[in-house]
Structure 1
Amino acid sequence: MSLHPDTFKHTPRLKVLQIINSYLSHLTPELFWQIPNLQKLDLSNNKLRYLDFLGGANLLTLRWLKLNGNELSVINETALQCLPALTYLDLNNNPLTCECSNVGFNQWVQSNNQTQVVNGHQYTCAFPVSQQGNKFLDFDTSSCWIDAGFFCFIFSTCLILITLLASFFYHFLRWHLAYAYYLFLAFVYDKRRRGREGSSHHYDAFVSYNVYDEAWVYEEMLPVLEGEQGWRLCLHHRDFEPGKPIVENITDAIYGSRKTICVISRHYLQSEWCSREIQMASYRLFDEQDDVLILLFMEDIPARELSLYYRMRSLVKRRTYLSWPQAGQHTGVFWENIRRALRTPGSPTDNPIRGFFQNPA
């Protein structure tokens, strides 16, 4: 229930107003604009839940305000501060809540020296359940003094910084981070493998290649290395365990083989999974200090193109590699070089032979 704004239009000199037991639930500031000289206001035993109407009511002469027996749970102290002449306030029998939403009113009651809050020290908490029955002025407000603006500033600043850093890392360092991540996986796997007793190599070599080079691997490499030379090779399409995570299959293949043969082409360099395979294989190379990596180039790729793939560029700078295009019609020597690389414990240059090993300029 509420009153029409023009209710007191014809009583501009009204100084005392009593509206009690009327089930009022809502009042508007405009209602009091017609009675600017009001000094006493009694709104007891109604259904009022908020006092926001006082903020714009312009009740500059109101000295006495009684709100006993309403449904006020949260008191807006700002509305009370709009009553400069207020000296008497009765808020008995209202279900006050003892939470941070009422901390302003709590402090106003204790610090205000002009307004007498009738029986203010006797007000009790109705909410929350854990505070029921406790004195309203006794509830701890220290935890409520958090500067929300400052908190939002810190949060937004951190969010902006994180966004900027994430963008920077993505554009400039994402490959380094990916490399570090897979080195860590390889490190964990290597430690776990070394902790197992009786671990051994199940294959002579794991062949890392791109699907576009699969025909060459099956038609050229396998007949020679497995058929003629008798090596046992691990191929992901043939030997990976179904259902096992791909990263685990890769690490099992690399550490379960004596060596890793990387069949490198432009498609290989652009493949995410091939990149991960050579990252793990290179970690094993550095960790074991043994020649476990054989680089086999299917194409003549200029150094300027390799510069986009820092891991491959680094390996090519430090190591010799085999070139299939350079083999031409003399493929027998090419396969002999691979046989020696698979057989010898040291690098191919430890057993020098004339063939198709290339050294970067």
Structure 2
Amino acid sequence: MSVVVSLPQAMPVVVSLLVISWMFQSTAGSCPYGYKCHLERNTYVLECDLFDKTQQLKVDDVPAIATHLKIICTYRRPSLTLTLANLPNIQKLTLDHLDLATWDDTMFRGVTNMSHLVLKKLSRKRFDNDSFSGLRNLRSLEIEHLDELKYMHPNMLTPLLSLQSLSFRHVGSVYDALNYTDYGLVIQELHHLKHLRHLDLSHNQLSTLSVSARKALDEIPTVEVDISGNPLLCDCSNTDFVTWIHTTKRKFLNKQHTQCTGKNHTPNLLFYFDHEALMDSCRSPNTRWYLTILLPIGIAFIIIAVLICALYRYRWKCAYCCSRIHVYKMSSGDKVDPVVYERDAFICYSSSDRAWVCNELLKRLEDGHVSTIIHQRDFLPGSVLHDSIIESIDKCRYTILVFSPDFLASDWCKLETHLARSCIITQGRDVIVPIVLREFPNATLSPTFQGILEKSYLKWSDNPDEQPEFWDRDVRTSPMKGCEDVTYEGM
């Protein structure tokens, strides 16, 4: 059976077909030169077709129903300048296998309502701080398979105030870019992204996250992190990161696929292995190292400190011993009869009391046939002072100490007192005859001087009526006791 359609009857059908064809053409839009284009539901796809290199790609004729613009060059990677005209309907943009010769803050001005940006396999080596300017409404950013990426500016995400999802997957040097850039840390600067909910760092070359990156993630309470597929380390070199993983309140995704390399290159599930055992095993060698190195150093330091304190405490006695040894060596072993003395008295005094000693004491003693030694007159020029003091004490029956405030303040007088008092031990005799020339506060007396003055001593008075009593007491028969350090200022 055949149906015959007359021309008047066929006209509506022809017109309808023409209208449908015109609508499809107007919907599909016209393709830029050198590209093929087609519309897949709401996705407008531009594919490289003729040329390996295209100087400029201007996208300004996109069907009104398209909300997803996808530019892909699967077989070619042209170096081009991308210009996006006013495309208010585009909500998602995918750039795949492109080499963008220029990338500045004007590139995204035409896509004011874009909320999702996908960058895949671009010939891109760096992202600057203005690479994503103008995308204030962007909620999702995916960066994948950028093997040539070397640098990401730490503030490149600052304009993305509405960002909720951020993905870095299969990025070439993401470890350096995220953790240790020249100007800062990308993850460290995420704290301003208050709406961030998802952070995908999977399948990169991360062995750890820096301290600053971990601190920044802790400041975003709602973010979920995926670090699976990375060559993470869970050995002694990365214990702080492992501890953070098990103590942070951050939620991690794909835990069952997150592995780490432990000691002896053993694989572990990062979130399920015994990290406390790792802490203990790493802590023990460190402890042994500290004990092996620091403990002997500490003991040696304590011994040296004790020796220094002891030498300072007994510095005058040490000086006396050294001097005695030196004199003994000089004498070539000759023994001196301790009973035979060359002089009667060695006088120790401060240089400020020299006038009284020379004009009063020395004159009166020598007038009484008491032979004396004083350093200004009897010490040989150029001789060793310690040796001369010891020789003088050994030559004399007694050592007269002329006490005064200046005597007590003189280090040389302290040394001479100590050397004289040591005769009690070395020779078994007390040789000290103390004379108090001028009064001084008892608080200024050392225990040594107090011990000397607790015994009998001669006291000088400026009153002429009391001076005869002083001279009536014979120095050679005066009660004497011990000695410590004696000095001469100006020696």
TM-score (norm 2): 0.45
Q: Distance in 2 between matches of 1:241 and 1:144?
A: 65
Query: Secondary structure of 1:207's match?
Result: strand
Q: Distance in 2 between matches of 1:67 and 1:239?
A: 91
Deviation at 1:88? 3.1
Q: Structure 1 70/250 Cα, relative in aligned 2: closer, same or farther at 3 Å?
A: farther
Counterpart code for 2:243: Q
Q: How does 1:1-361 map to 2 (within 5 A)?
A: 3-4=128-129, 7=132, 9-10=134-135, 12-18=137-143, 20=146, 21-28=148-155, 31=158, 33-42=160-169, 43-46=171-174, 47-48=176-177, 49=180, 50=185, 51-58=187-194, 60-66=196-202, 68-69=204-205, 74-76=210-212, 77-81=214-218, 82=220, 84-92=223-231, 99=237, 102-109=238-245, 114-115=252-253, 116=255, 118-121=258-261, 141-142=282-283, 181=314, 184-185=317-318, 188=321, 198=334, 200=336, 204=343, 205-222=345-362, 225=365, 229=369, 231=371, 233-235=373-375, 239=379, 242=382, 244=384, 254=393, 257-282=396-421, 284-285=423-424, 290-299=429-438, 301=439, 305-311=441-447, 312-321=449-458, 323=460, 325=462, 334=471, 337-338=474-475, 340-341=476-477, 347=479
Counterpart code for 1:27: P
Q: Distance in 2 between matches of 1:247 and 1:67?
A: 81
Q: Structure 1 114/332 Cα, relative in aligned 2: closer, same or farther at 3 Å?
A: closer
Q: 1:129 is matched with which residue?
A: none
Deviation at 1:293? 0.4
Query: Secondary structure of 2:168's match?
Result: strand
Query: Secondary structure of 1:268's match?
Result: helix
Q: Distance in 1 between matches of 2:189 and 2:383?
A: 68
Q: Distance in 1 between matches of 2:395 and 2:205?
A: 82
Superimposed CA distance per residue, residues 110-149 of structure 1 (whole angstroms, 9 cap, x where no aligned partner): 7789454755217999xxxxxxxxxxx9796416999xxx
Structure with greater helix percent:
1
Q: 1:130 is matched with which residue?
A: none
Bigger Rg, structure 1 or 2: 2
Q: Distance in 2 between matches of 1:5 and 1:123?
A: 43
Q: Structure 1 243/93 Cα, relative in aligned 2: closer, same or farther at 3 Å?
A: farther
Q: Structure 1 323/75 Cα, relative in aligned 2: closer, same or farther at 3 Å?
A: closer
Are 1:32 and 1:59, in contact at CA under 8 Å, matched by a contact in 2? Answer: no
**Gaps spanning 5+ residues in structure 2: where?**
1-125, 266-276, 288-309, 482-491
Q: Distance in 2 between matches of 1:41 and 1:85?
A: 14
Are 1:324 and 1:334, in contact at CA under 8 Å, matched by a contact in 2? Answer: no
Q: Using CA pairs below 8 Å that are at least 6 residues apart, which structure has the higher relative contact order?
A: 1
Q: Distance in 2 between matches of 1:31 and 1:215?
A: 89
Q: Distance in 2 between matches of 1:237 and 1:17?
A: 100
Percent of residue pairs bearing the same amino acid type: 14
Are 2:461 and 2:467, in contact at CA under 8 Å, matched by a contact in 1? Answer: no
The worse-fitting range, judged by mean Cα deviation, of 220-229 and 266-275 is 220-229
Superimposed CA distance per residue, residues 247-292 of structure 1 (whole angstroms, 9 cap, x where no aligned partner): 7765665567543211223432443433443355445458866331
Q: Distance in 2 between matches of 1:37 and 1:195?
A: 92
Q: Structure 1 79/253 Cα, relative in aligned 2: closer, same or farther at 3 Å?
A: farther
Query: Secondary structure of 1:214's match?
Result: helix
Counterpart code for 2:355: A
Structure with greater strand percent:
2
Q: Distance in 2 between matches of 1:231 and 1:6?
A: 104
Q: Distance in 2 between matches of 1:97 and 1:247?
A: 65
**Gaps spanning 5+ residues in structure 1: where?**
126-136, 147-176, 350-361
Q: Distance in 1 between matches of 2:322 and 2:245?
A: 66
Deviation at 1:93? 9.3
Q: Structure 1 193/293 Cα, relative in aligned 2: closer, same or farther at 3 Å?
A: farther
Are 2:236 and 2:263, in contact at CA under 8 Å, matched by a contact in 1? Answer: no
Deviation at 1:306? 3.8
